[in-house]
């Protein structure tokens, strides 16, 4: 599922990079905003910093979580929350990404929350991605492209995607729960917050036209959402081993 081996870094170094980027992304946040709160290990540090600023600096914001995990984290930090339906248009979404290319196009969905993440991003006036430099790629596709599919449709969708995707298309597996364990053990599908399954599609770094591929995959009956975020990202806050870089899309909504 992962791209080829990146330069070796230990776990502490990677976490330090994620924390730097997550905190730096908060420079886009100001009082009065309605914020989309993303899902993942990097944007978690952004949410922690927002919680700190609410507690220590009287920051006033309202968040819209993109997953149940994010909702639980934000509630524990005292961040006021609304559903997307209640909040309406959002000022900004801050989220992570599994990959981003030079045109600020994204692959997302490694955490399984791509459908809610996309709905929230589409309802926002701007989107900022937080990442470490391992997520920067010249061409999308080294990270397997996730799709959310209906639980009754996944086999048919998989078979149709086999004619589109140059590599394997596989059903994402979840963590075994004690009550689900049988002998012999059977694979347990990963279940999204929406009650769907995830298919991971191994395109390799071949996605030169993500907008066309997105529309092609969405035309397959049974596909709920595809983890290509096209024309949504306006800036990337990226931590490198030596500094934090903020890259703003030329002609984007934050330019």
Active-site residue (options: 99, 117, 148, 225): 117
Is 93:70 a contact under the CB 8 Å cutoff? no
Q: In what order do the strands lie in the sheet with 99-100?
A: 99-100, 106-107, 228-229
Partners of 64 in the β-ladder:
36
State how far the Cα of 7 lies from the Cα of 5, in Å rounded to an integer: 7
- Return the closest-CA partner of residue 107 out of 218, 207, 35: 207
Listing DSSP states for 102-164 in one string gives TT--EE--TTS-HHHHHHHHHTBS-EEEEEEGGGB-SSBTSSPEEEEE-TTTHHHHHHHHTTT
Active-site annotation holds for 117: yes
State how far the Cα of 251 lies from the Cα of 233, in Å rounded to an integer: 11
Catalytic residue positions? 117
């Amino acid at each position: 599922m992962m791209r080829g081996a990146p330069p070796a870094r230990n776990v502490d170094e990677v976490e330090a990079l994620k924390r730097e980027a997550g905190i730096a992304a908060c420079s886009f946040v100001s009082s009065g905003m309605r914020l989309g709160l993303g899902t993942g290990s990097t944007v978690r540090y952004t949410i922690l910093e927002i919680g700190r600023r609410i507690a220590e600096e009287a920051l006033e914001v309202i968040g819209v979580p993109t997953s149940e995990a994010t909702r639980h984290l934000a509630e524990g930090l005292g961040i006021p929350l609304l559903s997307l339906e209640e909040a309406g248009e959002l000022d900004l979404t801050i989220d992570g990404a599994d990959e981003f290319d030079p045109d600020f196009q994204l692959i997302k969905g490694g955490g399984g929350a791509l459908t809610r993440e996309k709905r929230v991003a589409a309802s926002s006036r701007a989107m900022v991605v937080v990442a470490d430099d391992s997520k920067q790629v010249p061409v999308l596709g080294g990270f397997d492209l996730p799709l959310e599919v209906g639980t009754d449709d996944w086999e048919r969708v998989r078979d149709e995607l086999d004619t589109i995707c140059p590599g394997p298309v596989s059903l994402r597996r979840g963590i075994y729960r004690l009550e689900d364990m049988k002998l012999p053990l059977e694979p347990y599908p990963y279940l999204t917050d929406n009650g769907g399954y995830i298919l991971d599609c191994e395109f390799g770094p071949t996605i030169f036209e993500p907008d066309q591929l997105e529309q092609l995959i969405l035309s397959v009956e049974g596909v709920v959402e595809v983890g290509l975020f096209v024309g949504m990202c306006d800036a990337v806050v990226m931590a490198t081993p030596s500094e934090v870089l903020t890259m703003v899309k030329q002609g984007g909504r934050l330019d």
